[in-house]
Amino acid sequence: MSEGTIVEQARPLELQAAPGRRGRRLPFSPWHLVLFPTMLIMLVPLLWMLVTSVQTLNETRHFPPVFVPSRVHLENYTQVLRMAPFSRWFLNTLIVTTASVAGNLLFCSLAGYAFARIKFFGREVVFLLVLATLMIPFQVVMIPTFLIVKRLGMIDTLGALIVPNLAGAFGVFLLRQFFRTLPIELEEAARIDGASRIGILFKIVLPLSAPALATLAVVTFMWTWNDFLWPLITIYNEHNMTLQLGLTTFQGAHQTNTNLLMAANVMSMLPVLLLFFAAQRYFIRGIATSGLKG
């Protein structure tokens, strides 16, 4: 696996510009002329969200748009918290996300290690079946998945959001591949010393696997935090909703309150954004090595 160095090391592809066109050179790289406007376009939706979230209702309903609000109306944020069970949605999302991340880290580590290092009966076939589920789009199987969760009595509970997501083929595959790159000599030495498989996994393998575990954690966090379709199908009661579903309800109820909707949106995005800035390299590695957004 290539280590997450995409951000850190760039290799300029073309050589230095050919000489002979001197005199007309800019004091900076001409690429800024392309990249700066691109950056602005990419950031406009996010910046505009921040601006409208602190505007008054009248300012959001003005043409031409008001770029500088009369005052920073932070009370929009507190008003959202009063108007909707927003803190409840936040808590629900946090519970579901934490449980999914923890479940994936534990169960995918155990299974990934078994598939990587232990020769057990049926290993190849089972692994192939696990991989097969990676290829199936969720939309194709959402109806029977709903029926299974219903039969388990978990519809309209957080369990419906947690249990099916406690382990996934993506995590098993990612960790198996990573474990296989570790030097096997350490594990063999520990086995000769009489260590159990579990002991080796937790004392030797996992401490060496921090980058892969972080990648899995970050990807699972983002996927679970942002998931919409599955909660939409399984959750009906407002008090069991996650943020993505809550935002949809909120938008339906307060359609014209753009400023409040934007404040709610900023708050719902904040944890993922913070995680992105804190763990950018793991985000990028998670995407670069697997290709999974959600």
Compute the distance between CA of residue 215 and CA of residue 281 in angstroms, rounded to an integer. Answer: 9
Do the beta carbons of residue 236 and residue 156 sit within 8 Å?
A: yes
Who contacts 275 (Cβ-Cβ below 8 Å, separation ≥6)?
218, 221, 222, 283
Compute the distance between CA of residue 26 and CA of residue 22 in angstroms, rounded to an integer. Answer: 10
Residues 185-244 that bind another protein (CB under 8 A): 197-198, 201, 222, 225-226, 228-229, 232-233, 244
Listed ranges 83-91, 178-186, 207-215, 282-290: which one lies at the site for another protein (CB under 8 A):
282-290
Nearer to another protein, 106 or 186 (CB): 106
Q: What is the helix (H) or strand (E) element at residue 199, kind and residue range? A: helix 197-200
Instruction: Write down the least CB distance from residue 207 to another protein, Å.
Output: 18
Listed ranges 79-87, 178-186, 202-210, 275-283: which one lies at the site for another protein (CB under 8 A):
275-283
Compute the distance between CA of residue 194 and CA of residue 188 in angstroms, rounded to an integer. Answer: 10
Q: Which of 90, 247, 257, 282 contacts another protein by CB under 8 A?
A: 247
Residues 78-107 that bind another protein (CB under 8 A): 106-107
Binding mask 3-22 for another protein (x = CB under 8 A): --xxx-xxxxxxx-------
Residue 21 burial (10 A CB sphere; 0-12, 13-18, 19+): exposed
Who contacts 119 (Cβ-Cβ below 8 Å, separation ≥6)?
none
Instruction: Write down the least CB distance from residue 65 to another protein, Å.
Output: 5
Q: How many residues bind another protein (CB under 8 A)?
A: 106
Instruction: Write down the least CB distance from residue 186 to another protein, Å.
Output: 18
